Amino acid sequence: MKKNFWLLVGSQTLYGDDVLKTVDARAAEMARYLNEGGKLPYALLYKGTAKSNGEISDVIREANYDAECAGIITWCHTFSPSKMWINGLAALQKPYCHLATQYNRDIPNEEIDMDFMNLNQAAHGDREHGFIAARLRMPRKVIAGYWKDERVIGKLSAWMRSAIGVAVSRALRLMRFGDNMREVAVTEGDKVEVQAKLGWQVNTWAVGDLVKEMNAVTEAEIDAQMAEYEAKYDIATDNLAAIRYQAREEIAIEKMMKREGCLAFSNTFQDLYGMEQLPGLASQHLMSKGYGYGGEGDWKVAAMTAIMKAMGEGGNGASAFMEDYTYHLEKGNEYSLGAHMLEVCPSLAADKPRIETHHLGIGMNEKDPARLVFEGKAGSAIVVSLVDMGGRLRLICQDIECVKPIMDMPNLPVARVMWRPLPDLLTGIECWITAGGAHHTVLSYDVSAEMMKDFANMMGIEFVHITKDTTVDALEEKLMIADLVWKLK
């Protein structure tokens, strides 16, 4: 669905019609400017100047009801007494951003008089406006700066993407094939709590239903899917039957997800009854189309992958299901190597991926599954993990620096990404483990930590960020305080 955002401008009737006309024209000009030339990732609709409790309540009710509205942005050109906003804001169900900006960039030395001051008093109006949201303890984003400034537009764009993550999350349906891998703790979670808090509808379908769907896939459908693989990837195997089998799996999984309106799925290598191969290439190609995926029944990471993909560039960013696998512990040259049994999204690839087939010893594979093999891109990124702490959800985000893998690893038959977590590998591991972060993560190059923090705030869940400045001591203290705070919530 095409999403948009609403701009509401605060004022009041005290200043007379001329001032209100100017405010209205300038707000419209602002929305027009910001919508031009793709400055923002989503349309900004100016919804009028708010002058009374009734007007504000009406427009917020409308925003709540409008399925296309993904959030509201407010700004006070003049003073706008905030008791007018209480009823509306208390009812607001959409993400909320307070843009503390000003029509004029500069103070005009000659022109400035008391009329100018009364018309251009955002410095004053935005403080009154900010107080009431603080008083109401509302989750919100505050962005300050001149509206034509690139930094401001960048922050507004990033916040919009986070709000899109909220919209996707609240509507997310997830298809599980099989349960979680036996005995694993971190991939578990309270599905009722997650639905109440994040909106996720997490339900299970039988692997037998998938097999039935696979058997109904036609050779013509598989031919078309093969043509797509050939166009996108280098085929580096003679075992075309294995690739065709993955095509069959992909088509069947996608048909079932489309039928049920699902944007994410999970499966487990321990439950592949009636299937010859664990979906490798199939899951990878589905992820490249924007679907979320989690291995070993990890529905939390599957959902987060779908959400972060939707938050990324063009609504399908470079975000992927990932797993910390093994370390390179050479002093001064330390790295983590991430991969998975098969399923790494090609949106992370530095070069054109290859389709290969190899034996997979783990699980129930009767035949060698086809998979995409590639190296991940170099660049700054984040890894994100959502864990269930019992009574609350914790979203852990770590800044990482991806590099071109420092060795070829010619016998490693899976896609791989190499990175150094911040502040350094060892402190980074200590922090991650201290916070309870999972081995499964979503790795993203184009979703920022700030966007994830905003997402967590809007969702009302705990956020832990491990940065270049994090120490184990400081983190432990933060987590201890968070335990206390979240018990009170």
The verdict on 462 binding Mn ion (CB under 5 A) reads no
| Segment interacting with Mn ion (CB under 5 A) among 86-94, 115-123, 236-244, 318-326 | 318-326
| Segment interacting with Mn ion (CB under 5 A) among 144-152, 243-251, 321-329, 474-482 | 321-329
Residue of 182, 367, 217, 372 whose CA lies nearest to 278 = 367
Residue with smaller CB distance to Mn ion, 296 or 446: 296
Measured CA distances, 79 to 51, 112, 128, 130, 427 (Å): 10, 18, 8, 12, 48
Is-contact 336 359, C-beta < 8 A?
no
Please provide the DSSP assignment of 310-376 as one string: HHSGGGS-SEEEEEEEEEE--TT--EEEE--SS---GGGBSS--EEEE----SSS-SSPPEEEE-BB
- Count of other CB atoms within 10 angstroms of residue 153: 18
Taking the complex as a whole, the smallest distance from the CB of residue 267 to Mn ion amounts, in Å, to: 11
Site residues (CB under 5 A) for Mn ion, limited to 204-243: none
DSSP state of 416: B
The verdict on 324 binding Mn ion (CB under 5 A) reads no
The verdict on 295 binding Mn ion (CB under 5 A) reads yes
# residues contacting Mn ion (CB under 5 A)? 3
Q: Which residue is nearest to Mn ion (CB)?
A: 295
Site residues (CB under 5 A) for Mn ion, limited to 349-368: none
Taking the complex as a whole, the smallest distance from the CB of residue 294 to Mn ion amounts, in Å, to: 8
Please provide the DSSP assignment of 41-109 as one string: SSEEEEEEEE-SHHHHHHHHHHHHH-TTEEEEEEEESS---GGGGHHHHHH--S-EEEEE--S-SS--T
Taking the complex as a whole, the smallest distance from the CB of residue 322 to Mn ion amounts, in Å, to: 9
Member of 323, 368, 375, 388 binding Mn ion (CB under 5 A): 323
- Count of other CB atoms within 10 angstroms of residue 386: 26
Taking the complex as a whole, the smallest distance from the CB of residue 196 to Mn ion amounts, in Å, to: 27
Taking the complex as a whole, the smallest distance from the CB of residue 301 to Mn ion amounts, in Å, to: 9
The verdict on 338 binding Mn ion (CB under 5 A) reads no
Taking the complex as a whole, the smallest distance from the CB of residue 464 to Mn ion amounts, in Å, to: 21
Q: Measure the CA–CA gap between 403 and 248, rounded to whole angstroms.
A: 35
Taking the complex as a whole, the smallest distance from the CB of residue 340 to Mn ion amounts, in Å, to: 6
| Segment interacting with Mn ion (CB under 5 A) among 4-12, 56-64, 87-95, 287-295 | 287-295
Query: How far from chain centre, in Å, is Cα 471?
Result: 26
| Segment interacting with Mn ion (CB under 5 A) among 221-229, 254-262, 292-300, 467-475 | 292-300
| Segment interacting with Mn ion (CB under 5 A) among 36-44, 225-233, 288-296, 328-336 | 288-296
Which residues of this protein are in contact with Mn ion, per CB under 5 A? 295-296, 323
